[in-house]
Each structure stands twice: as C-alpha cells, then as structure tokens.
Structure 1
C-alpha cells in the first residue's frame, strides 16, 4: 500500500507546533497499515471524529451580544487577518476531521472485516455526517475552500486549489443525505453522543440556510420535525442547566465535564459576589433587543420603563440576563451605585455588595451579568458541566419558518412553529393566544423582522448570533455601533442617580432587525462608550485563508481585502 501523510498541508502547522516528535501513527489511533481490522478499531476511529475541537458554534464575543470591559476581538475591531489564531485553528481542525473521515470511508469501502452491509453503511454514514458538517462550516466562514474526498499524497496537497463553494455544497448535501438514509433515529445507550438521522437533517437545514438554499433548508427542517422525536423543553430557563443535558430538545451536543478539563473559565461570567470577575457580560444591545410582553420592541411599547428595564419583557430576557434586585446564586444582584450591601440568602445576612461600582471599580462595566445556563456548580469549582449545545429543536422550528418566509411560502405552519417557540418562553400552550403575544401577521417583511428578533432572544449566549449577522448582511450595522456602559462612579451618581434616570436614562431606538441605537444618550453624556466596535463590510463577510496555507501552496488564492 502506498503510504500517505493524511494530515496534509492543511493543518500541518498545528501538528508541528503541538509536539516536537511528530508521531504520524500513535498507538491510540493506529495507521492505515495496522488499523481498521475489526469493529473495535473502527469505533475508536469514528469516536475521534466527535472530538470537542471539531464541533461547536461561533463565539459570542464576536457579536453585539457581548461586552468585555474595554476589550474587542479581531472581528469586532476589524483587525482579522490570515495570521489570527482562530482563522488558522478553524481551518486546521476542520481539515483534520475531514481527513480522518476520508480515511475511515476509504478503509470501510476497501476492507473486508466481516461486518454486515447495514453496519458498514451506518459507520460510513457517521463519517460522511462529520465530513459534511466540517465542509459546511468551512464554506460559511471562508467561501470557496480546498475540497477533496480522497486521501492524497503530500505533493498533491501542496498544489490543491479552491473549489467553488456551490460545488462543495452539492457534496455536503449528498453526504448529509447519505447520513439521513443510514443513521439511526436514536441510540439505545444514553451516554452515546453520536450522529443521528435528526442531527443530519438539522445540520443540513442549517448548512442550506447559511448558503441561501432556502428550499433545501425548509425541506430538511420539515423532515426533522416529522420524525416526532424532539420537542421543546417546557421550561426555557431550566433547559440549559447541567442536569438537563439529555433533554429531548437537544439534537446534538458535545459533553463538557470538569473531570475532562472543562474549556470554560467560569469566573469571568460570574458576579463578583459569587467569587467571579463579572468581565464577560451581556451587552446593553442585547438587553434592549428583547421584546416587551405585548410583542413590541422597547421603543414602540408603552409597557417599557427604562428605569426598570427587566419589567414587562419577554421572559427569555430575565432567563438570560440576571434581573436587578433578584436572587442569583444565593445573593441579591443589584448594581445600583448606592446599594453598598446586599442580602445573602444562604447566610440570612447582609454582605458587602461587590457587584456595584460604589464598592468595586471592576464590577460589571455595564451592570449586567449572564444567567442562562449558570448555576451553583459554576461557583463550587469555577467550572461548568453544561453540555455544549450545537443544535436544538427550537432552531429547527425557526429555520423552517425563516426558509419559508424567504421563499414567501407563508402559511399556518410558519406562524405555528414561531408561536411554539414564543409560547414556550411564556410557559403556555401556543393555542392560548391571550397569555402571550402570539404572532398573527402574514406579511413577509414583518415576519422577517419578527423572525430575526425572535432568533436573537431565543439563542443568545449559544453562538448563533455571529452567523446570523453575517448571512443577513447586517453585521455592518450591528458591529459598527459603539458598545456602551455606565458612567464612572462620580458622574453616574451626579448625572443618572441624582436625576432619577437610573437605569437607562432614555429609551433606545430599535431598527427593523432588532439592533438598538444608543447614540442619543451618548451625545448627551449620559452613558459611557466602552469600545468602538468596527466591522469592515468590504472584506469581513468572509474570513481570510490562513496565511500559512497561502505560503505553503502558491495555488491558493486569498479572499478579497486580505
């Protein structure tokens, strides 16, 4: 057998920098010469396709949902280039997974290991499922990408060119279709977190939606709904807690465990009263984007009171961001500068309030902290065991609705699925239209606007906002607005508290996509600009091809503007 280097130039530098002695066939993984001889070895290889580094959504801090004091990312500062580690890492990890999948498929098709055709088809379906996911992710970020379905020698790898993304997507849909046909609906072992028919349908719908193939997206989402194996968890606030990691709403997730070196540093998200730093916080943009309980944005609803911004809001607001003067992790949360002590529900006594600028300069710079999915386990060892939810049933419902809206195929099913998601937030049946702001309009423009606001409310803190901004082409609006927070302590008391303007001094304006405008308050000196977000629309809707790949392969072209 001719020997190939399977981790080819695509991702080569990751491997070289990770260890001094590059072992191309570690004993835990085998090689093509001594592996794939039995089902145990095949299962081990397939399990390697589900590594946490290969799956997951985008970062919240690339979006207008996020505040990190006075810091920006490469995306929100418009400094993205081909040497950014995230650009290199996504490319390398995706191609590592693709190459592993290709290797598995090649060996399954060319080896006689005595397994039934049904079992072989399922294993091959898992590899094609993983491969489709990786190529779809590459296309959504880079556009045209290097494409290969075979194991290739190193000299050929150095000469590969980019393939038109539409051609790549055709094979992505073919791979997903094969997975849909051959993967099981579920596994008997609840501990197994592997690809299923529903996951293949859901990811196909997402890939198609991101690529603007709305008919494909609609049909895939509809078929996923027709499986009737998923449903909305009845309590939105509890869905994301560690004990609900196996909820029937979750279609595909990656387990996270403190025992397995959790990748989440919890202290940055936790309030200072709970031993955290309150550095990674929800933005004012996110808080202002939640609709009121009458279904209207804050600048249109008579129910919105800027002095009590959590009152009369869609319930997902208070499930995602900690409301003021509410118990959180056993302590009252109150960032008001004159609230120098707060009640501790655990001890039954008052304690120094470290979550107010009145006591701590480094308390949350905008007064907000995350709540969604956070519980006492985060405090106990400053880590988290929540599963990383990659896709869930609410996304399938809203993808179906969005695709139908864009196709202008608006019927009762579109309104029904959107109302299912919204009614769940209010803990009522969708038919109980007097108990929540049910959606009734059939206007395409109005539904598009509602859908975009609904997605922001539903999926905050889940890594979906970035690609929504990119595919809707509204990143240039959302990410060219400054990020704001509270004035410094002396000014805050003088200009806001003493003039009875706490918390928001005015009502921000909201555009048709749910993007707030705080500029009027800023011009009056009532709020403080924390950062000056930047987004270069001439280039940033695509990422650059990693510079290392361009240097090693002269046949690779770079995306415009980089």
Structure 2
C-alpha cells in the first residue's frame, strides 16, 4: 500500500508534500480534527489509502470461514464456525450471520461519502479531485455490491448522515439499488485512468469499474449489457492471461498482467496482513490447530482428466491413482494425498503427521493449495502479504462466454473458453460442442474458491443441487502398503430457496426506531 501513497503525493498532491515530508508518518487520523484533515493534502492521501484498506476480500475471512465453505466447493474443518449453521439450515436473523459485514460495510460507505462531501474544499488540482471522486465512487459501488450479493436490497446512503439518520434509512427497491451501483461504476469509469505506473498498483482504474459493472449486470442476467462491458475490458484494457495458473496467486506475481483489481496487503505502512497461510496449511507446518477450509470430493470430481473427459468416462482414470492425469488446475488448487508441498510429500490419511486427528483435520481428505505461498516461512512473526485478486481477466472471459451462450452465440463463447483451456494445458472444446454443462464446469474449476460460486448458483437457480447437495469426502485406507481411495458421504446440506439471500441481522434491525424497521428478506 505504500506504493499508493507515493503516487498520490507525487502526482495528485503536486508540490504539497515537499513542504510537509513527515505528514505521512504522523499519528492516527483520529488525532486530527475533521476540518484539519481536509486542509492537508498529505492527510487526504492517508484517508484515500485507508479507504482501500476497508475493502472486504476473501483473504480477510481467513481463520474464520471463506465463501467456499457454504457452497459445494468446501467444508470448514471447525464445527463451531457459522458456516456449519448455514450448511445445516440452523440459522436465523438472530444468529448473527454477516452482522459484522453489514456494520463494517456501512462504515466504509460513510467514509466514501465523507471524502466525496469534502472534495470541493480540498487543496488539490481539479484533475486530482476528479480522480479521487472516481475512486470513492468505485469503492462505494464495491461496498454496495458486497451487501447486495449477501442481502439483496439495501438501505441507500449517498451522503454523510448522523448515526441515527443512517439507522433510519429504508431499504431501496431492487431497481433503485442496482441503478445506484451502476451509476457509481459508470461515473468511476469516466473519471478514472485506464492504468497507473507500477508504483501505484492497487488503485481503481477505468477497467476495474467496467469489470465490476460486468459482474453486476451478469448477476442481474442482463446479458447484452454485461457482454458489452466485458468486451470493452477485453478489447481495450490491455490485460492478458498470466501464463502460469498456479503462480498467478503467488506474492512474487502480485499485480500481474491478468489482474484487473485486487486488494493490496502490505506491512510496511498500512499494517494490513491476512492469515491465509497460517490457517489453511497443515498443523505439521503451523504447529497449531490451523486447518479451516477443506475442498470437497464434489469439487475434486469437477476436474476433468487430461484428455478432456470426466474421470468416470476417461480411460486415463486409475482408481489406484485417482489424482494422476488431471486438469493441471486441479494440481494447482488442491492438496491431495501424495502432493509435493513445501518440500514434503503430503500423507493425508487420517492420523498421519500431516493430517493429525488431534488437530483440525482435513475433514474431506483434501486441503487448499490455491492462493497459498509455497515459500512462506512459518516461524517468527511474519504475516501474509500476497494480494487478493478480486477481479481478473479469466473471470471476464467467462462472464463474456456465459452472456454469449445465453444470447445464442456459442461459437463466440467457445473462443474464450478455449483461451482459458489452452492456458491450463487442456484440450480445447471442438467446434459445435460447447454446451451449457461444459461452460458451467469450466467456470467451476477456473474460478474455484475465488468467492463467486454463491453468486453463480443464485444466478443459475441451482441452489437445491449445488448447495443443498450431499457433500462427499475421500476415505483413504491402506492394506499391505497399498492405498485405496473411496468416496464417502460427509454431510447432507440443507437448502430452501429463501437461502439465496441471507437475513438482515436482527441486531441491525433492532437499532432502528419503532415504525422505521425495514422489512426482512422473504422467508426469514
């Protein structure tokens, strides 16, 4: 995040910081009066910086539970986490699911509105003000998209209000909420630059705004408009697929050519770290009950064999070696029995030193590999600094392909599916053979665990089969030194269509005065 400040102070603030070089090293912003902050260009820079820190990413959920754990992608190894209440249908508005997301998101929205309100009085160039306006509108839209993806309609707050006023804001209509987000993204796209110097990686760009617009429109099933936004990113954004699918997520490849927008993590200035490597590696490496997020057998079965056929149709499948000859994205995303990981050959048989029964176990027989840093050093006090990719070209290709399929243009869609397959080292889909099931499978493995699965399932209307499914695991046995692998049931998930949206937390509703409490989501 230090890179962001360097660019703001060097370009937007012009010569101001030259007169106040120690401004960025001053104490917390809450030590300054509100009026003083907006008169000091360096303090304004810090406010902008901290606005990016408030982005909610899946890496921020590490140690608790990630979105994968409430879909068919994953299962939390910790029975006391709220994801288990969701999976078994034992939750209600009073359970507190996503309470912190609701309150924290509105705190971030208030921050965006506060910056926007003070723009006219800032001692900046007009160009600098317009760029900050674009950034705040982008971030506000991003925060509202987070709320919308969880709760649906939300209270629309577009100006700085008192706490009591915030609590009495009614939920907007669905159309009005979507219009607010789209308007913010359109304005942001018009105001933001197409790119920044490398020293300013992590800032919102024109194409980040258009890419998020594409995601929102796709989830609204506005295929024509979503396709148009995707194509503009594809044709004009200058992004290309990173050649190595696995290494794309390594810290040494942060801000690579595929990344359209990510949350930056750094320890030198912002102090933000995450705990992904600590909570999703085996206790063998961490030394404590660390494992949280486990991929399911359901997810493993989605990965094709190297010949492009499903495992149960391919002659390349060997039940004695079920993980051989798989789509390379499988090996890049999941730690399975026999995986080489951090100079160890992983033995995931229950009770081994890598999967001890006295710790949080790999309850499904698998561990997460995607996102983790194979060079992470577990001793000492080091944190995790790899960025969280929140939007990349691979997703835009898939969004565009889905739109084209829905619009009846299967061959146009096939072009972009095959670009992803070629990057992965998989056979291309032949002409005339791209169908809906093939597309869904491709999206499932390409975007595995990246946090969009629940949105996809809601859009496709497949909650009953993809979330309310029987979750399976692998049972590893050994006889005379020979291992065998058997798919076994692990959990029968509960599903009701009301679960496409989460209930507004009761703790939030209780803050509203009598007569102004917003309506709860249907069924809750």
> What TM-score, normalized to structure 1?
0.78
Deviations 1:115-157 (A, max 9, x none): 3332221111111111111222222221221112222345544
Offset, 1:452: 1.5
Could you say if the C-alpha distance between residues 541 and 198 of structure 1 is closer, same or farther in structure 2, counting changes exceeding 3 Å?
Answer: same
Aligned to 1:35: 37
Q: After the TM superposition, list the runs of 4 or more consecutive aligned residues in structure 1 that deviate by more than 6 angstroms.
A: 359-362, 498-501
Tell whether the 8 Å contact from 1:281 to 1:368 is kept in structure 2 after alignment: yes
Report what 1:300 is aligned to: 313
* 1:502 maps onto 2:484 in alignment: yes
Aligned to 1:399: 399
What corresponds to 2:501 in structure 1? 542
Which among 92, 101, 104 is matched to residue 112 of structure 2? 101
1:329 Cα deviation (Å)?
0.8
Structure 1 residues 67 and 300: CA distance shift in structure 2, 3 A: same
In 2, Cα distance between equivalents of 1:415 and 1:485: 32
Residue equivalent to 2:446: 458
Aligned equivalent of 1:91, options 102, 120, 138? 102
1:384 counterpart residue number: 384
Matched, 1:221 2:180: no
Q: Take 1:272 and 1:207, find their aligned partners in 2: how far apart are those partners?
A: 39
Instruction: Mark the CA change 1:449 to 1:50 in structure 2 (over 3 Å): closer, same or farther.
Output: same
CA deviation after TM superposition for structure 1 residue 228, in Å? 4.0
Among 301, 305, 319, the alignment partner of 1:288 is: 301
SS in structure 1 at match of 2:321: coil
How far is the alpha carbon of 1:225 from its aligned partner? 1.1
Which residue is equivalent to 2:335?
322
Q: Is contact 2:150–2:502 with CA below 8 Å preserved after alignment?
A: yes
Structure showing greater radius of gyration is 1
- Report the CA distance between 1:322 and its aligned residue: 2.6
Worse-superposed segment, 402-411 or 552-561: 402-411
Give 1:465 shift.
1.9
Determine helix, strand or coil for the equivalent of 2:390: strand
Give 1:394 deviation, angstroms. Answer: 0.7
Deviations 1:76-122 (A, max 9, x none): 222333234442112112211222112221221x43x4533322211
CA deviation digits over 1:325-370, x for unaligned, max 9? 3421111123357xx9xxxxxxxxxxxx51367x979653333222
CA distance in 2, matches of 1:124, 1:356: 50
Higher helix share: 2
Deviation string 1:263-322 (CA, Å, 9 cap, x unpaired) is 315344223443455553221111111112222222333332333221221110111113
Distance 1:271 1:41 in 2: 42
Give the whole-Å Cα distance in 1 for the aligned partners of 2:345 and 2:163.
Answer: 60
Equivalent-residue separation in structure 2 for 1:80 and 1:423 (angstroms): 43
Structure 1: runs of 5 or more not aligned: 1-25, 341-352, 427-435, 505-520, 522-526
Deviation at 1:39, TM superposition (A): 3.1
Deviation at 1:557, TM superposition (A): 0.6
Task: State the distance in 1 between where 2:114 and 2:128 align.
Answer: 17
Which residue of structure 1 aligns with residue 427 of structure 2?
437
Q: Distance in 1 between matches of 2:506 and 2:248?
A: 41
Identify if the C-alpha distance between structure 1 residues 302 and 37 changes in structure 2 by more than 3 Å, giving closer, same or farther. same
Taking the TM superposition and a 5 Å limit, the aligned residue runs for 1:51-90 are 51-56=53-58, 59-69=67-77, 71=79, 72-90=83-101
Distance in 2 of aligned mates of 1:90 and 1:220: 28
Distance 1:274 1:154, change over 3 A: closer
Deviation for aligned residue 1:250:
1.4
CA displacement at 1:32 relative to structure 2: 4.8
Does the 8 Å CA contact 1:60/1:465 hold for their aligned counterparts? yes
What is the rounded CA distance, in whole Å, between the counterparts of 1:193 and 1:267 in structure 2? 24
C-alpha displacement at 1:535, in angstroms? 2.4
Runs (5+) with no aligned partner, structure 2: 1-27, 60-65
Match of 1:511 in 2: none
Instruction: Provide the secondary structure at the position in 2 that maps to 1:457.
Output: helix
Residues 355 and 364, structure 1, Cα contact 8 Å, conserved in 2? no
Q: How does 1:151-550 map to 2 (within 5 A)?
A: 151-154=160-163, 156-257=165-266, 260=271, 262-264=273-275, 266-275=277-286, 277-335=290-348, 354-355=353-354, 364-374=362-372, 375-377=374-376, 379-381=378-380, 383-412=383-412, 414-426=413-425, 436-442=426-432, 446-486=434-474, 492=477, 497=479, 502-504=484-486, 527=488, 529-537=489-497, 539-550=498-509
Shift of 1:261: 5.8
Match of 1:4 in 2: none
Retained in 2: the 8 A contact 1:273–1:331? no
Secondary structure of the 2:345 match is strand
Per the alignment, in what secondary structure is the counterpart of residue 377 of structure 1?
coil
Structure 1 residues 195 and 376: alpha-carbon distance in aligned structure 2, compared to 1, 3 A threshold? same
2:504 and 2:283 map into 1 onto residues whose CA distance is 40
